[in-house]
Amino acid sequence: MMMIPRRNHFDLFDEMFRDPFFEGTESKVMKTDIKEKKDKYLIDIDLPGYEKENIKMEISDGYLTVHANVNKEVDDEKGKYVRKERYVGECSRSFYVGENVKEEEIKAKFKNGTLTIEVPKKDEKKELPDKKYIPIE
Asked if 92 contacts 40 with a C-beta cutoff of 8 angstroms, the reply is no
- pLDDT (tens digit per residue) in 40-78: 999 999 998 889 999 999 999 889 999 998 876 655 667
pLDDT at 27: 43
> Tens digit of pLDDT for each residue in 61-71?
889 999 998 87
pLDDT score of 124? 62
DSSP string, 41-62: EEEEEE-TT--GGGEEEEEETT
- Evaluated on CA atoms 43, 71, 58, 94, the torsion sign reads negative
User: What is the C-alpha separation between 67 and 45, in angstroms, rounded?
Assistant: 11
